[in-house]
Chains A and B, each alone.
Chain A
Protein backbone atom coordinates (compact mmCIF):
# COMPACT_ATOMS: atom_id res chain seq x y z
CA UNK A 1 0.00 0.00 0.00
CA UNK A 2 1.36 3.42 -0.95
CA UNK A 3 0.05 6.72 0.35
CA UNK A 4 0.19 8.26 -3.13
CA UNK A 5 -2.27 5.84 -4.72
CA UNK A 6 -5.08 7.80 -6.43
CA UNK A 7 -8.44 7.77 -4.74
CA UNK A 8 -10.99 5.48 -6.27
CA UNK A 9 -14.49 6.86 -6.67
CA UNK A 10 -15.63 4.72 -3.75
CA UNK A 11 -13.01 6.24 -1.50
CA UNK A 12 -13.95 9.75 -2.55
CA UNK A 13 -17.59 9.11 -1.76
CA UNK A 14 -16.60 7.98 1.70
CA UNK A 15 -14.72 11.19 2.45
CA UNK A 16 -17.07 12.11 5.28
CA UNK A 17 -16.68 8.66 6.74
CA UNK A 18 -12.90 8.88 6.70
CA UNK A 19 -13.07 12.22 8.52
CA UNK A 20 -15.17 10.53 11.18
CA UNK A 21 -12.68 7.66 11.31
CA UNK A 22 -9.83 10.11 11.76
CA UNK A 23 -11.65 11.86 14.58
CA UNK A 24 -12.50 8.53 16.17
CA UNK A 25 -8.83 7.71 16.36
CA UNK A 26 -7.98 10.77 18.41
CA UNK A 27 -9.15 10.61 21.98
CA UNK A 28 -8.39 14.26 22.69
CA UNK A 29 -9.91 15.52 19.48
CA UNK A 30 -13.21 13.84 20.34
CA UNK A 31 -13.11 15.29 23.85
CA UNK A 32 -12.38 18.81 22.62
CA UNK A 33 -15.05 18.59 19.95
CA UNK A 34 -17.57 17.48 22.55
CA UNK A 35 -16.80 20.47 24.82
CA UNK A 36 -16.86 22.98 21.95
CA UNK A 37 -20.19 21.72 20.65
CA UNK A 38 -21.68 21.75 24.14
CA UNK A 39 -20.56 25.35 24.80
CA UNK A 40 -21.83 26.47 21.40
CA UNK A 41 -25.21 24.91 22.09
CA UNK A 42 -25.32 26.52 25.53
CA UNK A 43 -24.40 29.92 24.05
CA UNK A 44 -27.04 29.53 21.37
CA UNK A 45 -29.81 28.71 23.81
CA UNK A 46 -28.80 31.42 26.31
CA UNK A 47 -29.02 34.09 23.59
CA UNK A 48 -32.67 33.19 23.03
CA UNK A 49 -33.92 32.97 26.62
CA UNK A 50 -33.81 35.44 29.54
CA UNK A 51 -30.67 35.15 31.76
CA UNK A 52 -32.85 34.07 34.65
CA UNK A 53 -33.62 30.87 32.74
CA UNK A 54 -30.12 30.21 31.40
CA UNK A 55 -27.15 32.59 31.73
CA UNK A 56 -24.50 32.68 28.99
CA UNK A 57 -21.31 30.60 29.53
CA UNK A 58 -19.23 33.78 29.80
CA UNK A 59 -21.45 35.07 32.64
CA UNK A 60 -21.10 31.76 34.46
CA UNK A 61 -17.31 31.91 34.10
CA UNK A 62 -17.32 35.47 35.39
CA UNK A 63 -19.38 34.44 38.44
CA UNK A 64 -17.09 31.46 39.01
CA UNK A 65 -13.99 33.68 39.00
CA UNK A 66 -15.66 36.23 41.25
CA UNK A 67 -16.83 33.62 43.80
CA UNK A 68 -13.37 32.05 43.78
CA UNK A 69 -11.63 35.39 44.25
CA UNK A 70 -13.93 36.37 47.13
CA UNK A 71 -13.05 33.09 48.84
CA UNK A 72 -16.69 32.03 49.13
CA UNK A 73 -16.35 29.10 46.75
CA UNK A 74 -13.06 27.95 48.26
CA UNK A 75 -14.52 28.00 51.77
CA UNK A 76 -17.63 26.13 50.64
CA UNK A 77 -15.50 23.52 48.88
CA UNK A 78 -13.41 22.97 52.00
CA UNK A 79 -16.56 22.68 54.12
CA UNK A 80 -17.79 20.05 51.69
CA UNK A 81 -14.68 18.00 51.14
CA UNK A 82 -13.78 17.09 54.69
CA UNK A 83 -17.13 15.67 55.91
CA UNK A 84 -17.44 13.96 52.53
CA UNK A 85 -14.00 12.38 52.88
CA UNK A 86 -14.49 11.30 56.49
CA UNK A 87 -17.90 9.77 55.76
CA UNK A 88 -16.72 8.02 52.60
CA UNK A 89 -13.50 6.64 54.08
CA UNK A 90 -15.25 5.26 57.17
CA UNK A 91 -18.02 3.82 54.97
CA UNK A 92 -15.42 2.19 52.71
CA UNK A 93 -13.56 0.58 55.62
CA UNK A 94 -16.67 -0.55 57.52
CA UNK A 95 -18.51 -1.62 54.35
CA UNK A 96 -15.58 -3.65 53.03
CA UNK A 97 -14.82 -5.33 56.36
CA UNK A 98 -18.46 -6.12 57.17
CA UNK A 99 -19.12 -7.20 53.58
CA UNK A 100 -16.26 -9.70 53.75
CA UNK A 101 -17.41 -11.03 57.12
CA UNK A 102 -21.00 -11.43 55.91
CA UNK A 103 -19.89 -13.01 52.62
CA UNK A 104 -17.70 -15.57 54.38
CA UNK A 105 -19.55 -16.30 57.62
CA UNK A 106 -23.02 -17.05 56.34
CA UNK A 107 -24.68 -17.62 59.77
CA UNK A 108 -23.80 -14.05 60.77
CA UNK A 109 -25.20 -12.89 57.46
CA UNK A 110 -28.46 -14.72 58.10
CA UNK A 111 -28.64 -12.96 61.44
CA UNK A 112 -27.94 -9.45 60.09
CA UNK A 113 -29.31 -9.53 56.53
CA UNK A 114 -32.91 -8.55 57.40
CA UNK A 115 -31.77 -5.39 59.19
CA UNK A 116 -29.39 -4.47 56.42
CA UNK A 117 -32.10 -5.00 53.85
CA UNK A 118 -34.62 -2.82 55.69
CA UNK A 119 -32.08 -0.06 56.35
CA UNK A 120 -30.97 -0.14 52.72
CA UNK A 121 -34.50 -0.16 51.26
CA UNK A 122 -35.69 2.95 53.05
CA UNK A 123 -34.59 6.14 51.26
CA UNK A 124 -31.73 7.69 53.24
CA UNK A 125 -33.47 11.00 53.46
CA UNK A 126 -36.25 9.44 55.53
CA UNK A 127 -33.72 8.82 58.31
CA UNK A 128 -32.64 12.41 58.41
CA UNK A 129 -35.11 13.69 61.04
CA UNK A 130 -34.08 10.78 63.28
CA UNK A 131 -30.37 11.53 62.80
CA UNK A 132 -30.97 15.19 63.59
CA UNK A 133 -32.88 14.23 66.72
CA UNK A 134 -30.07 11.96 67.85
CA UNK A 135 -26.97 13.82 66.75
CA UNK A 136 -28.13 17.43 66.46
CA UNK A 137 -27.73 19.92 63.67
CA UNK A 138 -24.05 19.89 62.82
CA UNK A 139 -21.20 18.28 61.02
CA UNK A 140 -21.45 15.04 62.99
CA UNK A 141 -24.91 14.43 61.55
CA UNK A 142 -23.59 15.38 58.12
CA UNK A 143 -20.75 12.85 58.33
CA UNK A 144 -23.14 10.17 59.54
CA UNK A 145 -25.50 10.92 56.68
CA UNK A 146 -22.66 10.58 54.13
CA UNK A 147 -21.55 7.38 55.85
CA UNK A 148 -25.04 5.86 55.70
CA UNK A 149 -25.38 6.83 52.04
CA UNK A 150 -22.12 5.15 51.05
CA UNK A 151 -21.81 2.17 53.39
CA UNK A 152 -24.58 -0.01 51.95
CA UNK A 153 -23.49 -0.16 48.32
CA UNK A 154 -19.97 -0.96 49.55
CA UNK A 155 -21.16 -3.61 51.99
CA UNK A 156 -23.60 -5.34 49.65
CA UNK A 157 -21.23 -5.43 46.67
CA UNK A 158 -18.34 -6.81 48.71
CA UNK A 159 -20.62 -9.37 50.36
CA UNK A 160 -21.73 -10.60 46.94
CA UNK A 161 -18.08 -10.83 45.84
CA UNK A 162 -16.95 -12.78 48.86
CA UNK A 163 -19.93 -15.11 48.62
CA UNK A 164 -19.39 -15.92 44.98
CA UNK A 165 -15.77 -17.04 44.99
CA UNK A 166 -15.24 -19.50 42.12
CA UNK A 167 -15.98 -22.96 43.53
CA UNK A 168 -13.64 -24.57 40.99
CA UNK A 169 -10.70 -22.46 42.17
CA UNK A 170 -11.60 -23.36 45.75
CA UNK A 171 -11.48 -27.03 44.76
CA UNK A 172 -8.11 -26.57 43.05
CA UNK A 173 -6.71 -24.98 46.21
CA UNK A 174 -8.17 -27.82 48.26
CA UNK A 175 -6.54 -30.43 46.01
CA UNK A 176 -3.21 -28.71 46.61
CA UNK A 177 -3.74 -29.20 50.33
CA UNK A 178 -5.03 -25.74 51.25
CA UNK A 179 -6.63 -25.40 54.68
CA UNK A 180 -9.80 -23.33 55.15
CA UNK A 181 -7.70 -20.39 56.28
CA UNK A 182 -5.29 -20.69 53.36
CA UNK A 183 -8.16 -20.92 50.88
CA UNK A 184 -9.67 -17.79 52.41
CA UNK A 185 -6.48 -15.85 51.79
CA UNK A 186 -5.43 -17.38 48.47
CA UNK A 187 -8.81 -17.67 46.72
CA UNK A 188 -11.75 -15.99 48.45
CA UNK A 189 -10.24 -12.62 49.36
CA UNK A 190 -8.39 -12.00 46.07
CA UNK A 191 -11.49 -12.88 44.07
CA UNK A 192 -13.49 -10.34 46.12
CA UNK A 193 -11.07 -7.52 45.32
CA UNK A 194 -12.73 -6.44 42.03
CA UNK A 195 -15.99 -6.17 43.97
CA UNK A 196 -14.32 -3.89 46.52
CA UNK A 197 -13.51 -1.49 43.69
CA UNK A 198 -16.95 -1.88 42.08
CA UNK A 199 -18.52 -1.10 45.45
CA UNK A 200 -16.31 1.95 45.87
CA UNK A 201 -17.40 3.28 42.49
CA UNK A 202 -21.05 3.23 43.58
CA UNK A 203 -20.26 4.40 47.13
CA UNK A 204 -18.47 7.50 45.82
CA UNK A 205 -21.53 8.51 43.82
CA UNK A 206 -23.88 7.92 46.73
CA UNK A 207 -21.60 9.84 49.11
CA UNK A 208 -21.62 12.84 46.75
CA UNK A 209 -25.41 12.85 46.74
CA UNK A 210 -25.32 12.43 50.53
CA UNK A 211 -23.04 15.40 51.15
CA UNK A 212 -25.03 17.77 48.92
CA UNK A 213 -28.42 16.75 50.29
CA UNK A 214 -27.01 16.83 53.80
CA UNK A 215 -25.63 20.33 53.44
CA UNK A 216 -28.90 21.48 51.91
CA UNK A 217 -31.04 20.08 54.67
CA UNK A 218 -28.86 19.90 57.79
CA UNK A 219 -26.06 22.40 58.14
CA UNK A 220 -26.72 25.14 55.55
CA UNK A 221 -23.04 25.40 54.65
CA UNK A 222 -20.77 24.37 51.82
CA UNK A 223 -21.48 23.57 48.22
CA UNK A 224 -24.92 22.15 48.94
CA UNK A 225 -26.05 25.35 50.59
CA UNK A 226 -24.66 27.45 47.69
CA UNK A 227 -26.96 25.57 45.34
CA UNK A 228 -29.91 26.34 47.52
CA UNK A 229 -29.07 29.98 48.15
CA UNK A 230 -28.28 31.01 44.57
CA UNK A 231 -31.02 28.82 43.19
CA UNK A 232 -33.73 30.36 45.37
CA UNK A 233 -32.49 33.89 44.74
CA UNK A 234 -32.43 33.13 41.00
CA UNK A 235 -28.76 34.15 40.67
CA UNK A 236 -28.24 31.46 38.12
CA UNK A 237 -24.78 32.56 36.96
CA UNK A 238 -23.54 32.04 40.51
CA UNK A 239 -25.63 28.89 40.91
CA UNK A 240 -23.50 27.19 38.25
CA UNK A 241 -20.22 27.74 40.12
CA UNK A 242 -20.76 25.10 42.84
CA UNK A 243 -22.14 22.82 40.13
CA UNK A 244 -18.82 23.04 38.29
CA UNK A 245 -16.97 22.22 41.52
CA UNK A 246 -19.11 19.13 42.12
CA UNK A 247 -18.72 17.96 38.54
CA UNK A 248 -14.93 18.40 38.76
CA UNK A 249 -14.89 16.52 42.05
CA UNK A 250 -16.92 13.66 40.56
CA UNK A 251 -14.58 13.39 37.57
CA UNK A 252 -11.48 13.47 39.80
CA UNK A 253 -12.91 10.78 42.10
CA UNK A 254 -13.80 8.56 39.17
CA UNK A 255 -10.26 8.93 37.83
CA UNK A 256 -8.99 7.97 41.27
CA UNK A 257 -11.12 4.83 41.34
CA UNK A 258 -9.93 3.92 37.82
CA UNK A 259 -6.36 4.31 38.96
CA UNK A 260 -6.97 2.16 42.05
CA UNK A 261 -8.56 -0.48 39.84
CA UNK A 262 -5.58 -0.45 37.50
CA UNK A 263 -3.12 -0.81 40.38
CA UNK A 264 -5.03 -3.32 42.52
CA UNK A 265 -6.45 -5.65 39.85
CA UNK A 266 -3.91 -5.77 37.05
CA UNK A 267 -5.19 -9.19 35.95
CA UNK A 268 -8.56 -7.81 34.87
CA UNK A 269 -8.84 -7.08 31.20
CA UNK A 270 -11.61 -5.26 29.52
CA UNK A 271 -13.57 -7.69 27.42
CA UNK A 272 -15.25 -4.95 25.42
CA UNK A 273 -14.02 -1.46 24.70
Chain B
Protein backbone atom coordinates (compact mmCIF):
# COMPACT_ATOMS: atom_id res chain seq x y z
CA UNK B 1 0.00 0.00 0.00
CA UNK B 2 0.90 3.69 -0.37
CA UNK B 3 2.73 2.74 -3.54
CA UNK B 4 3.39 5.52 -6.06
CA UNK B 5 4.12 4.63 -9.66
CA UNK B 6 5.06 6.70 -12.72
CA UNK B 7 4.42 4.84 -15.98
CA UNK B 8 5.94 6.23 -19.18
CA UNK B 9 5.16 9.81 -18.24
CA UNK B 10 5.87 12.49 -20.84
CA UNK B 11 5.71 16.21 -20.43
CA UNK B 12 6.84 19.04 -22.67
CA UNK B 13 6.47 22.81 -22.49
CA UNK B 14 6.18 25.37 -25.25
CA UNK B 15 9.39 27.37 -25.52
CA UNK B 16 9.26 31.08 -26.45
CA UNK B 17 10.39 30.21 -29.98
CA UNK B 18 7.42 27.89 -30.38
CA UNK B 19 9.32 24.61 -30.15
CA UNK B 20 8.37 21.96 -27.66
CA UNK B 21 10.79 21.63 -24.77
CA UNK B 22 10.83 18.11 -23.37
CA UNK B 23 10.83 18.09 -19.56
CA UNK B 24 10.16 14.40 -18.95
CA UNK B 25 10.77 11.65 -21.50
CA UNK B 26 9.03 8.29 -20.91
CA UNK B 27 9.70 8.63 -17.21
CA UNK B 28 8.97 5.47 -15.25
CA UNK B 29 9.57 4.94 -11.54
CA UNK B 30 7.99 2.76 -8.90
CA UNK B 31 8.16 3.78 -5.26
CA UNK B 32 7.19 1.10 -2.77
CA UNK B 33 4.90 2.04 0.10
CA UNK B 34 6.56 3.66 3.09
CA UNK B 35 9.85 4.34 1.31
CA UNK B 36 11.71 7.63 1.35
CA UNK B 37 12.88 8.43 -2.18
CA UNK B 38 14.84 11.50 -3.24
CA UNK B 39 15.24 12.82 -6.75
CA UNK B 40 18.38 14.83 -7.50
CA UNK B 41 19.66 16.31 -10.71
CA UNK B 42 20.84 19.51 -12.38
CA UNK B 43 18.40 22.42 -12.60
CA UNK B 44 16.02 22.04 -15.49
CA UNK B 45 16.15 18.23 -15.35
CA UNK B 46 12.40 18.03 -14.78
CA UNK B 47 12.40 17.07 -11.12
CA UNK B 48 9.97 19.76 -10.07
CA UNK B 49 7.74 18.97 -13.04
CA UNK B 50 7.68 15.38 -11.80
CA UNK B 51 6.50 16.42 -8.37
CA UNK B 52 3.92 18.91 -9.61
CA UNK B 53 2.42 16.22 -11.82
CA UNK B 54 2.31 13.75 -8.93
CA UNK B 55 0.54 16.44 -6.89
CA UNK B 56 -2.03 16.82 -9.65
CA UNK B 57 -1.16 20.47 -10.18
CA UNK B 58 -0.26 20.01 -13.86
CA UNK B 59 -1.38 17.30 -16.27
CA UNK B 60 1.03 14.99 -18.07
CA UNK B 61 1.03 14.84 -21.88
CA UNK B 62 0.87 11.06 -21.78
CA UNK B 63 1.51 8.22 -19.40
CA UNK B 64 0.02 7.56 -15.99
CA UNK B 65 0.77 8.28 -12.38
CA UNK B 66 -0.83 5.75 -10.04
CA UNK B 67 -1.39 5.59 -6.33
CA UNK B 68 -1.95 1.96 -5.32
CA UNK B 69 -2.88 1.20 -8.90
CA UNK B 70 -5.44 4.02 -9.20
CA UNK B 71 -4.66 6.67 -11.81
CA UNK B 72 -4.18 10.15 -10.33
CA UNK B 73 -5.36 13.24 -12.13
CA UNK B 74 -6.39 15.92 -9.69
CA UNK B 75 -4.85 16.79 -6.33
CA UNK B 76 -5.58 13.78 -4.14
CA UNK B 77 -6.74 14.01 -0.53
CA UNK B 78 -4.35 11.13 0.17
CA UNK B 79 -1.37 13.35 -0.63
CA UNK B 80 0.23 16.40 0.87
CA UNK B 81 2.80 18.68 -0.67
CA UNK B 82 5.45 20.77 1.06
CA UNK B 83 6.85 23.69 -0.93
CA UNK B 84 10.21 25.46 -0.85
CA UNK B 85 8.30 28.75 -0.75
CA UNK B 86 6.19 27.31 2.11
CA UNK B 87 3.06 29.23 1.07
CA UNK B 88 1.43 29.95 4.39
CA UNK B 89 -1.61 32.23 4.20
CA UNK B 90 -0.29 35.47 5.74
CA UNK B 91 -3.74 36.41 7.04
CA UNK B 92 -4.21 33.16 8.93
CA UNK B 93 -2.72 32.36 12.31
CA UNK B 94 -0.46 29.33 12.64
CA UNK B 95 -3.26 27.11 13.96
CA UNK B 96 -5.60 28.23 11.16
CA UNK B 97 -2.93 27.59 8.52
CA UNK B 98 -2.58 24.02 9.76
CA UNK B 99 -6.35 23.62 9.98
CA UNK B 100 -6.56 24.67 6.31
CA UNK B 101 -4.88 21.37 5.41
CA UNK B 102 -7.89 19.54 6.87
CA UNK B 103 -10.53 22.00 5.66
CA UNK B 104 -9.52 21.71 2.01
CA UNK B 105 -9.14 17.95 2.33
CA UNK B 106 -12.57 17.43 3.86
CA UNK B 107 -14.22 20.34 2.00
CA UNK B 108 -15.61 21.58 5.27
CA UNK B 109 -14.93 24.95 6.89
CA UNK B 110 -15.82 23.74 10.38
CA UNK B 111 -13.51 21.22 12.00
CA UNK B 112 -14.81 18.45 14.23
CA UNK B 113 -13.62 18.25 17.81
CA UNK B 114 -11.42 15.33 16.83
CA UNK B 115 -9.87 17.26 13.93
CA UNK B 116 -9.20 20.20 16.27
CA UNK B 117 -7.28 17.88 18.56
CA UNK B 118 -5.39 16.48 15.59
CA UNK B 119 -4.34 20.01 14.56
CA UNK B 120 -3.08 20.72 18.08
CA UNK B 121 -1.28 17.38 18.25
CA UNK B 122 0.40 17.99 14.88
CA UNK B 123 1.56 21.43 15.98
CA UNK B 124 3.01 19.80 19.10
CA UNK B 125 4.66 17.17 16.90
CA UNK B 126 6.59 19.83 14.95
CA UNK B 127 7.44 21.66 18.18
CA UNK B 128 5.16 24.66 17.70
CA UNK B 129 2.87 24.40 20.72
CA UNK B 130 2.42 27.87 22.11
CA UNK B 131 2.66 29.56 18.70
CA UNK B 132 -0.94 28.84 17.68
CA UNK B 133 -2.04 32.50 17.64
CA UNK B 134 1.03 33.88 15.88
CA UNK B 135 0.96 35.05 12.28
CA UNK B 136 3.48 33.55 9.83
CA UNK B 137 5.51 36.76 9.49
CA UNK B 138 6.21 36.61 13.23
CA UNK B 139 8.08 33.30 12.86
CA UNK B 140 11.55 32.50 11.52
CA UNK B 141 11.93 30.70 8.19
CA UNK B 142 12.64 27.39 9.90
CA UNK B 143 9.55 27.71 12.09
CA UNK B 144 7.44 28.65 9.09
CA UNK B 145 8.53 25.50 7.30
CA UNK B 146 7.60 23.51 10.41
CA UNK B 147 4.11 24.96 9.97
CA UNK B 148 4.23 23.93 6.31
CA UNK B 149 5.16 20.43 7.43
CA UNK B 150 2.36 20.38 10.02
CA UNK B 151 -0.17 21.50 7.40
CA UNK B 152 0.92 18.54 5.27
CA UNK B 153 1.06 15.97 8.09
CA UNK B 154 -2.28 16.90 9.65
CA UNK B 155 -3.89 15.38 6.55
CA UNK B 156 -2.34 12.03 7.50
CA UNK B 157 -1.14 11.62 3.92
CA UNK B 158 -0.27 8.33 2.32
CA UNK B 159 2.16 10.17 0.07
CA UNK B 160 4.22 13.16 1.13
CA UNK B 161 5.58 15.23 -1.76
CA UNK B 162 8.39 17.61 -0.88
CA UNK B 163 9.79 20.16 -3.31
CA UNK B 164 13.17 21.32 -1.98
CA UNK B 165 11.47 22.11 1.32
CA UNK B 166 14.67 23.14 3.11
CA UNK B 167 16.29 24.85 0.11
CA UNK B 168 15.70 28.37 1.40
CA UNK B 169 16.88 27.74 4.97
CA UNK B 170 20.28 28.30 6.53
CA UNK B 171 22.59 25.31 7.02
CA UNK B 172 21.97 24.81 10.75
CA UNK B 173 18.20 25.04 10.51
CA UNK B 174 18.31 22.72 7.53
CA UNK B 175 20.25 20.06 9.47
CA UNK B 176 17.86 20.29 12.41
CA UNK B 177 14.81 20.02 10.17
CA UNK B 178 16.28 17.04 8.30
CA UNK B 179 16.50 15.13 11.58
CA UNK B 180 13.04 16.25 12.58
CA UNK B 181 11.68 15.10 9.24
CA UNK B 182 13.23 11.65 9.76
CA UNK B 183 11.68 11.46 13.22
CA UNK B 184 8.27 12.45 11.87
CA UNK B 185 8.56 10.05 8.97
CA UNK B 186 9.36 7.27 11.45
CA UNK B 187 6.00 7.96 13.06
CA UNK B 188 3.66 8.64 10.13
CA UNK B 189 5.13 6.05 7.74
CA UNK B 190 4.06 7.96 4.65
CA UNK B 191 5.74 7.28 1.35
CA UNK B 192 7.97 10.29 0.69
CA UNK B 193 9.03 11.71 -2.67
CA UNK B 194 11.63 14.35 -1.94
CA UNK B 195 13.11 16.73 -4.50
CA UNK B 196 16.42 18.42 -3.75
CA UNK B 197 19.58 19.64 -5.42
CA UNK B 198 21.59 18.82 -2.30
CA UNK B 199 23.24 15.39 -2.64
CA UNK B 200 24.15 15.09 1.06
CA UNK B 201 20.57 15.83 1.99
CA UNK B 202 19.26 13.24 -0.46
CA UNK B 203 21.59 10.48 0.77
CA UNK B 204 21.13 11.32 4.44
CA UNK B 205 17.33 11.18 4.28
CA UNK B 206 16.52 8.53 1.71
CA UNK B 207 16.23 4.80 1.18
CA UNK B 208 16.72 5.42 -2.51
CA UNK B 209 18.26 8.27 -4.49
CA UNK B 210 17.21 8.81 -8.10
CA UNK B 211 19.73 10.78 -10.16
CA UNK B 212 18.22 12.47 -13.19
CA UNK B 213 20.01 13.51 -16.36
CA UNK B 214 19.64 16.76 -18.22
CA UNK B 215 16.79 17.48 -20.59
CA UNK B 216 15.04 15.48 -21.71
CA UNK B 217 14.37 14.28 -18.19
CA UNK B 218 15.27 10.66 -17.74
CA UNK B 219 16.55 8.61 -14.85
CA UNK B 220 20.30 8.32 -15.05
CA UNK B 221 21.01 6.21 -12.02
CA UNK B 222 19.24 4.77 -8.98
CA UNK B 223 21.17 4.35 -5.74
CA UNK B 224 19.99 2.27 -2.82
CA UNK B 225 21.06 3.76 0.48
CA UNK B 226 21.63 0.90 2.88
CA UNK B 227 22.71 2.98 5.87
CA UNK B 228 20.52 1.91 8.81
CA UNK B 229 17.67 4.15 9.95
CA UNK B 230 17.22 6.23 11.99
CA UNK B 231 20.23 8.08 10.65
CA UNK B 232 20.19 10.73 13.39
CA UNK B 233 20.93 7.92 15.87
CA UNK B 234 24.58 7.92 14.79
CA UNK B 235 26.86 10.04 12.64
CA UNK B 236 25.58 8.71 9.31
CA UNK B 237 27.33 11.44 7.31
CA UNK B 238 30.69 10.16 8.57
CA UNK B 239 30.15 6.58 7.40
CA UNK B 240 32.33 5.23 4.59
CA UNK B 241 29.17 4.10 2.77
CA UNK B 242 27.87 7.68 2.82
CA UNK B 243 31.06 8.97 1.20
CA UNK B 244 30.99 6.15 -1.36
CA UNK B 245 27.42 6.92 -2.41
CA UNK B 246 28.10 10.62 -2.60
CA UNK B 247 31.12 10.05 -4.83
CA UNK B 248 29.08 7.87 -7.19
CA UNK B 249 26.17 10.30 -7.34
CA UNK B 250 28.41 13.32 -7.76
CA UNK B 251 30.27 11.66 -10.62
CA UNK B 252 26.94 10.92 -12.23
CA UNK B 253 25.67 14.50 -11.89
CA UNK B 254 28.98 16.03 -12.96
CA UNK B 255 28.68 14.36 -16.34
CA UNK B 256 25.41 16.18 -16.82
CA UNK B 257 26.61 19.69 -15.98
Contact = CB atoms under 8 A, between A and B. Distances in A.
Interface of A: 168-169, 171-179, 182, 186-187, 190-191, 193, 265-267, 269
B57 A176 contact: no
A147 B61 CA distance: 52
A159 B155 CA distance: 34
Of A171, A172, A176, A178, the most chain B CB neighbours within 10 A belong to A176
B135 interface: yes
Contacts of B81: 172, 175-176
Contact of B83 (A172, A187, A267): A172
B63 to A, nearest CB: 20
A193 B80 CA distance: 28
B55 interface: yes
Given A173-B104, A176-B104, A187 B55 contact: no
Interface size class of B (residues with CB under 8 A): 20 to 34
Contact of B57 (A171, A186, A267): A171
Contacts of A266: 135
A269 B137 contact: yes
Of A171, A173, A177, A179, the most chain B CB neighbours within 10 A belong to A177
A265 B91 contact: yes
A32 B191 CA distance: 66
Nearest to B76: A177
22 contacts: A168-B85, A169-B89, A172-B81, A174-B75, A176-B80, A176-B81, A176-B104, A177-B75, A177-B77, A178-B104, A179-B107, A182-B104, A182-B107, A186-B89, A186-B100, A186-B103, A190-B92, A265-B91, A266-B135, A267-B91, A267-B92, A269-B137
B100 A177 contact: no
A174 B57 contact: yes
Contacts of A168: 83, 85, 87
Interface of B: 55-57, 75-77, 80-81, 83, 85, 87, 89-92, 100-101, 103-105, 107, 135-137, 151, 155
Q: Report, nearest first, the 9 A-B pairs whose CB atoms are least far apart.
A: A172-B87, A176-B104, A178-B104, A175-B81, A190-B91, A267-B135, A177-B104, A267-B91, A267-B90
B80 to A, nearest CB: 8
Contacts of A176: 75, 80-81, 100-101, 104-105, 151, 155
B141 to A, nearest CB: 16
A68 B100 CA distance: 56
Nearest to A181: B107
B243 to A, nearest CB: 36
Nearest to A264: B91
Given A177-B77, A177-B104, A190 B89 contact: yes
Contacts of A191: 91
Contacts of B100: 173, 176, 186
B133 to A, nearest CB: 10
B87 A169 contact: yes
Contacts of B80: 175-176
A172 B104 CA distance: 11
Nearest to A175: B81
Contacts of A174: 57, 75
Contacts of B91: 190-191, 193, 265, 267
